[in-house]
Amino acid sequence: MTLAITSIQRNRNPWIIEWLAFHLLAGFDRFYIYSHKCTDGMTETLLRVACHYPVTVHAIDMDELPQLIAYQHAAEQYLPQVDWMAFIDGDEFLFSPRYRYIGTALDHYANLPLSALAVYWVCYGGNGHIREPDGLIIENYPRHSDYGFPANRHIKSIVKGRQTIRIVGSHLFETVNGTCDECLRPVTQGWMQQIEPSYDFLRINHYAVQSYEYFSDTKRTIGAADGNPVLIRPDSWYFEYDRNECNDGIIYNFLTPLKLKILEINQAIGR
C-alpha cells in the first residue's frame, strides 16, 4: 500500500522536519509539498530532504487560491500513483490512535464503495506560551480543546488513489462515490456541525494557534490559502482557538521515536 500526503505550507521551516518525521512514523511514504511564498528557508530545507527521502517539492508564489490549485495539480499528477492521499496542512498531524501505522486503519475501508475518508480535528491551544518556545510542537503544545469544541467538527480528507476528483475547497472534494467518516456516516460539508466527531481509527491534531507571538507575527497576516489572500485574523480568532482544557497524553506515544527520526533526517541533510 502506497500512502501519500499533499500539503501546501508557508514559512514552516522551524517545524517542517518534525512534521515530516511524524508522518513517516505514522506510515506515510510519499510527500508532495507545495512551498508557498516561503522566505524562511523552508524550500531549501525541503529540497535537501528530497535528496534522501520520498519528498517532491514545488515552489509556488501565486496569490489567488494557491491551495486549491496545488491540490488539483496533485490530484491530477500524483493521485493515480498511490493507494491513498491525505490533503492536510503543516499545522495538522494525522495518525491512527488505534494502530501504529495508519495503513492498518485504512485497510478497513479499502474495499468499501467510498471515494474518501473524512478525519476530524482535535484543536490544540497556545498552552500558555506568549513567546514561541524552542523544540517540538507536540512537546510544547500538549493541551487541547475538549472534544465538544465546535471547530473539532471540521474534517480533512484522505482520498482513495487512482480516481478522478475535483478540488472545490480545502476540506472536502467532489468525488465519484462520496466521502464518509470512520463510522461510515456520509460527510457532505467541510464542517459537519451536526455530527459528533469520532477518533477511534483516525485523528488530526490541529495546532491552530501555537504561541501568541507566532499568531501575531505570522498567522495573523498570512492570509487564507483557500480563500482571501489578504485576510487579517483578529485577536478574537486567536482566543477562540486558544483552548487548553484537556491533555489525553496520546501524542506522547510518538515522542521518543519522533526525536530519533528527526535526528536521522537532520543527520542526512547535515543540519
pLDDT in tens, 117-169: 999 999 999 999 999 999 999 999 999 999 999 999 999 999 999 999 999 99
Long-range contacts of 226-231 (CB under 8 A, 24+ apart): 226/65, 226/67, 226/68, 226/169, 226/170, 227/65, 229/63, 229/64
* Grid cell at residue 16: 517542517
Residues of the chain with pLDDT below 50 are none
pLDDT value of position 264: 98
Q: 181 forms bridges with which residues in the sheet?
A: 118
pLDDT value of position 271: 84
CB 169 within 8 A of CB 226: yes
CATH class of the domain at 3-123+152-205+251-269: alpha beta
Q: How far from the centroid of its chain's Cα atoms is residue 154's Cα?
A: 12
CB 97 within 8 A of CB 201: yes
pLDDT value of position 265: 98
CB 199 within 8 A of CB 119: no
CB 107 within 8 A of CB 125: no
pLDDT value of position 187: 98
Largest distance between two CA atoms of the chain: 49
Residue ranges of the domains in the chain? Answer: 3-123+152-205+251-269
pLDDT value of position 228: 87
- The H or E element containing residue 214 is helix 212-217
Q: Which amino acid is at 6?
A: T
Q: How far from the centroid of its chain's Cα atoms is residue 196's Cα?
A: 21
Q: 117 forms bridges with which residues in the sheet?
A: 158, 180
DSSP per residue over 137-188, as a string?
HHHH---B--TT-GGGGBEEEEEESSS--B-SSSS--B-SS-EEETT--EE-
Q: How far from the centroid of its chain's Cα atoms is residue 261's Cα?
A: 18
Measured distance CA(126)–CA(42) in Å, rounded: 23
